[in-house]
Amino acid sequence: MNRLEGNWWSEPCEEHGSAFSLKVKSRLHEEQTPFQKIEVYETEKFGNLMVIDGFVMLTSRDNFLYHEMMSHPALYTHPAPKRVLIIGGGDCGTLREVLRHPEVERAQQVDIDEGVTRAAELYFPELCEFNDDPRAELHFADGIRWVKEAEAGSVDVIIVDSTDPIGPAEGLFNEAFYRDCYRALGGNGILVQQSESPLLHMRLLTEMHGAMRTAGFPDVRTLQFPQPVYPSGWWSATLAGKGGVLDQFREVDARNKVYPTAYYSVGIHRAAFALPPFMQEAFDRVRNQA
C-alpha cells in the first residue's frame, strides 16, 4: 500500500517486489473527486509530485521524458497531423507538446476528471501554458464514449495518455476501443498509447499489439524511453498505424523544429524504436499470428 512515512512517500510494486520513493517536504493538495483521489506533494529534489489513487503520475523534474515521447514521434510520423485527439492527459503536458507543432490546427483533450487539470494549473502551471491556445479544446468527459461517437475519419492522431489499465482507464486497453479509434482516424491515422514497462508488463504489451492488429491496424510498433518515477524506470508507448506509415518519419521537419525539447531529437526518434531481442521476438510472434 502506498504510504507517507516520515519524509518519504513510497509506491510499492507488490507483484514485482519493488518500490519507488521520493523525499518530500510537504503535502500541497489532497482531493477526492467523483473518480479518484488526487494528491500533490512538494519533494526535495524532483519538484512537485502528483499522485492519483496512490500511483505516481508525474513530477516537475522528469515529466518531459513522457510528454515528449507520447507526442513528437507520432506527430512527426504522420505526414500532416492537423487534427489531434488526446484521451486522458489531464495534466496538459502532452497537449502542450502537441501544440508546439505549427501544423496542428485543432487539439481536443478529453479527460474524465476535471480535478486533474485544475490541480495541474495550480501546481504544474508550466504544463498548462497552451491551455488558452485557440487551437486547444478541453473537454471533461468519458474518452471511451467520445471516441465511439466521433465522426469517422475525423482525426489524424489519437494520443491515449491514460493512467494504468485499472479503474476509469481499464476500457482503454482492449480491441473494442481500438476498433473505435481505427474508425475515427483518417487514412494515414496514427494511434499512440502509453504501454507500461517492458521489463514488468510484457504480457500487457503483447496483448495490446494483438488487439490493435485484430482491430484493423496493419502496423504496430513500440518505442521505449526512460521514466525514473514509474515502476522499473523503463517505459514505453505503442503506435498503431492505419496507413502503414510507421517505418518513416518527417526527419527534415523534426530536425528543423522551431521549439526546444529536452529529450526528443531525430536520433532519439530512430533509437527509441530499436528493441531488445526479447521484445522484438514477442512482437514478431504476435504479428505472425495475426
> From start to end of the chain, where are the E strands?
3-5, 8-13, 18-32, 37-43, 48-52, 55-59, 83-88, 106-111, 136-140, 155-161, 185-194, 219-226, 234-241
Please tell me the distance from the alpha carbon of residue 85 to that of residue 91, in angstroms, as a whole number: 15
CB neighbours of 103 closer than 8 A, spacing ≥ 6? 80, 81, 82
Are 22 and 49 in contact, with CB atoms under 8 Å apart?
yes
Rounded CA separation 108/195 (Å): 21
* Cell numbers for 151: 465522426
156 catalytic residue (yes or no): no
Catalytic-role residue among 62, 156, 161, 180: 161
Tell me which residues are annotated as active site.
Answer: 161
